[in-house]
Amino acid sequence: MIQLKRVRDSTAESDGARYLVERLWPRGVRKTALPLDGWFKDVAPTTALRKWFSHDPSKWVEFQHRYFGELDAHADSWKPILDAALNGTVTLVYSSHDAEHNNALALKKYLDKKLHRRALSGSRNPAA
């Protein structure tokens, strides 16, 4: 199972493995103050895509399309997260103020689709 939490949300045992999925460290947050199991910088959108999107909701559909293309081209960046989700709960931690239009939400959608396909096929291949 994959779930989402903002950086400033409180932690819970139900979070499972907590992974920051941002290319940049969140502003105003000390590295020692954020409980994480990993920081996956490379799973975040490229700087060019992030700047193009600029959290503009009118670009959301196209952002997801472009971001999914980046994820397809760099499966090594997200496979560890998917592997962890196959074995338990994973929480994707993000810093965006917009809970409806952010890279973590898009990444969750992408990974949930991979998990669903894997469940339907019975495959052990997380890229399925």
85-119 pLDDT, tens digit each: 999 999 999 999 999 999 999 999 999 999 988 77
pLDDT at 117: 81
Which run of H or E residues covers position 50? helix 47-53
Sign, CA torsion 65/102/26/83: negative
pLDDT at 2: 97
Contact 49, 66 (CB under 8 A): yes
Low-confidence ranges of the chain (pLDDT < 70): 122-128
pLDDT at 121: 72
This prediction has a pTM of 0.90
